[in-house]
Structure 1
Amino acid sequence: MSIIWPKRKKMMDDLNQAMKSGAHFPKELIKLGFSKTTVTQINLAMGQGNLVECLEQLTELSRLKNEQIKKLKAELSYPFILAIMMVLLLAFMQTFVTTQFSDSNEHTGDFLLVGLILIALGFIYYFSKMLNLLAKQDYKSMKKLSAYPLIGAVIKKYVNYLLIYDIGLLLASGFSLQKMCEYAAKQTKGSLQQYLGEKVGNKLAQGKSLKEIIKEEPFIPDTLLILIQTGSERSNLSNRFLIFGRSLFNDLTARIEKLVVNVQPICFILIGICIIGMYLKLLLPMYAMMQGI
């Protein structure tokens, strides 16, 4: 790997030495920056002999993420330039208005501009917090993100895809539902799979029906119950889960592309509102002075 990926030679050498010293592979992956959910998927696949399929799935997700990041950067490049120009114009206008209309008692434009700046800062905070939660990808982070406007539905679809695909792979390995929960509960603490496996397993042990559990858990799609109640053999049921997972992935791709495309119009709307605020800051003091003449 260090030969194929020379830029990461030191990282690979350190990982190699750690593994030779008896380090736990999932823990080393977490140290390298992988999310707990991704590490748990790899660990599940390694334990059940489905590593190739798991890596193919993760590769598709990574490719989708990289493609959408490129598109997002392209979408934001023009609004970013406009935002820089607007900041420079704002600095000039602030100096001009302060100098020329220092005697004016009209401060409506100032209040409006401060409000717009606070909205912009709030948007930046919202975006940075969203990125921080996305990097963690544990159950609590995903649940918080699912309640966020704009991206909540996409996050739910992403988690649905991960769960359905993992269940399909475990079914192919001969796992029952109870065994899946027990096995998932032993995985990386705090990961999506570990939390749900422990939670669902405890509810099954308490005598709750699968229908009640699915209705109560926001990340488990209702379609799961329909698939399980078909009464198919385990191999056929596994194939159905994997096919359903593929359809969820296609839907996820379409939703993300739609979300990325809508980013630029939203940025233009925010910039337009800020430009209106700047014009009002300039014109309102002038209008107040004209009324006093």
Structure 2
Amino acid sequence: MANLLSIGFSLTEALKFMSETDQQVSQGVGTIIASLKSGHEFSESVRPLIEVQAYHQILIAEKHGQLSEILSELAKFDRLRLKQLKKIKAMLVYPFFLCLILGMLILMIRLYVFPQIQELMPSVDPHHQVSGWSKMLRMIPIPILACLIGSVVYWSRQDAIRQAQLIVKLPFIGKLIRKYIAYYLASNLATLLRNGLSVKEIHATLMEFKSGSLIHLLGEKIHTTLLEGCSLKRLVDRHNFIPTEIVKFMSSGNTIPEMANSMTAYSRLMFDEMIVATDKMIGFIQPAMFIVIGLTIISTYFQLLIPIYNSVKGMY
């Protein structure tokens, strides 16, 4: 759609063209067209079909005449996400088949090899010899499950700001989420600043977003901080997921167009860093899977060989 708008199509014409040429999206596009005919704004029409973050970006862009640019940016982000998901799926195919073969091997050992050992060495009971290990392994999922349930309950009771503060502290994915939040905030602020909005006007715009969303709550925090006569740096100190660079740009004393350019450049930098971070994470998936498979193979061999070793040792 962004390409169609950039070459001169109106919004309605672009939607009709998409409906006629792409059967995969025709139903969703038809819903959007019907909603537009009913008098709704484009952002409200697409709201049920997209994520909350994308809706907020479209809402800002629509109000300030930058819909084509934001749609292009969202399309670029979505293409990246699909590309990375394809990479993950491709990398998981080989480990998945290894896990499948390993599972069948373990099943065959338990069904056929252990009974054979008992017949050849009646004094050996494989299940008895490893009963301590088996009990311990069976108990492990219980505390893990309890921790997961407790974490989900605790998470659901927190507001969006607290959730963001928690998730950026997580190992492995925390840095990636931090970069995404930085990209999301900088991109939205760049759109607002490009249209000459002051800090007060930005706050008023953020207050129009869905109550309880991250960007709405941040708008409230900004308003409270300014009313207290505090600097925005204090807001960053309280919330570790807000990039210090954004506050530096806002407090730089530059003109609004210059701040907008800085925000745009920073959002693009964060987008590029997200690509690098996701590539690194994908690179760790296969080695991690192979480590798990290797540990499973070793534990299976121990289950098989320890009873035999104990029996042979008892003969001497």
2:104 corresponds to: 88
Higher mean C-alpha deviation, range 45-54 or range 185-194: 185-194
Question: Which amino acid counterpart does residue 106 of structure 1 have in structure 2?
Answer: Q
Aligned to 1:106: 129
1:8 to 6, 13, 25: 25
State the 1:47 CA deviation: 0.7
Match of 1:73 in 2: 89
Could you tell which deviates more after superposition, 198-207 or 78-87? Answer: 198-207
1:291 paired with 2:308, answer no
**AA partner of residue 243 (structure 2):** P
Partners of 2:43 and 2:250 lie apart in 1 by: 31
| Superposition TM-score, scaled by structure 2 size | 0.79
Q: Give distance in 2, aligned partners of 1:56 and 1:80.
A: 36
**TM-superposed deviation, 1:55:** 1.3
Q: Cα offset for 1:26?
A: 4.0
- 1:140/1:19 Cα in 2 relative to 1: closer, same or farther (>3 Å)? farther
The reply to whether residue 29 of structure 1 matches residue 69 of structure 2 is no
Q: Which amino acid aligns with 2:92?
A: L
Q: How does 1:169-184 map to 2 (within 5 A)?
A: 169-184=191-206
Q: Following the alignment from structure 2 to structure 1, what is the Cα–Cα distance between the partners of residues 46 and 295?
A: 45
Are 1:15 and 1:28, in contact at CA under 8 Å, matched by a contact in 2? Answer: yes
C-alpha distance in 1 between matches for 2:137 and 2:281: 28
Partner of 2:129: helix, strand, or coil? coil
CA distance change for structure 1 residues 253 and 225 in 2, over 3 Å: closer, same or farther?
same
Choose from 268, 292, 302 the match for 1:280.
302
Match of 1:185 among 200, 207, 229: 207
Question: What is the CA-CA distance between 1:109 and the residue it aligns to?
Answer: 5.0
Unaligned runs of 5+ in 1: none
- Report the residue type matching 1:62 in the other structure: D
- Provide, for residues 17-49 of structure 1, a one-character-per-residue CA deviation record: whole Å limited to 9, x for no partner: 2333345654543422x2111111111110111
Residue 38 and residue 10 in structure 1: after superposition, are their counterparts in 2 closer, same or farther (change >3 A)?
A: same
* 1:157 corresponds to: 179
- Please tell me the residue identity of whatever aligns with 1:184: L
2:63 is matched with which residue: 47, 67, 74? 47
Which one of 292, 301, 308 corresponds to residue 270 of structure 1? 292
Asked if residue 221 in structure 1 is aligned to residue 243 in structure 2, the reply is yes
The secondary structure found in structure 2 opposite 1:49 is coil
Per-residue deviation at 1:140?
A: 5.7
Instruction: Find the residue that maps to 1:277 and give its secondary structure.
Output: helix
Does the 8 A contact of 1:36 with 1:190 survive in 2? no
CA distance in 2, matches of 1:70, 1:89: 29
Q: CA separation in 2, counterparts of 1:45 and 1:241? A: 15
1:145 matched to 2:167? The reply is: yes
Tell me which residue corresponds to 1:194.
216
In 2, Cα distance between equivalents of 1:272 and 1:197: 50
Change (3 A) 1:140 1:37: farther
Which structure has more relative contact order (CA 8 Å, sep 6+)? It is 1
Aligned-residue RMSD, C-alpha = 2.7
Which has the higher Rg, Structure 1 or Structure 2?
A: 2
CA distance in 2, matches of 1:144, 1:27: 30
Give the distance between the partners of 1:142 and 1:262, measured in 2 at CA.
24
- Summarize deviations over 1:137-189 as a string: whole Å, max 9, x none: x6565444323220001000110011112111111111112221221121123
C-alpha distance in structure 2 between counterparts of 1:284 and 1:201, whole Å? 67
1:59 alignment partner in structure 2: 75
1:197 match: secondary structure: helix
* Structure 2 unaligned residues grouped into runs of 5+: 1-17, 119-123
TM-score (norm 1): 0.85
Whether the 8 Å contact between 2:164 and 2:241 is mirrored in structure 1 is: no
Aligned-residue sequence identity (percent) comes to 28
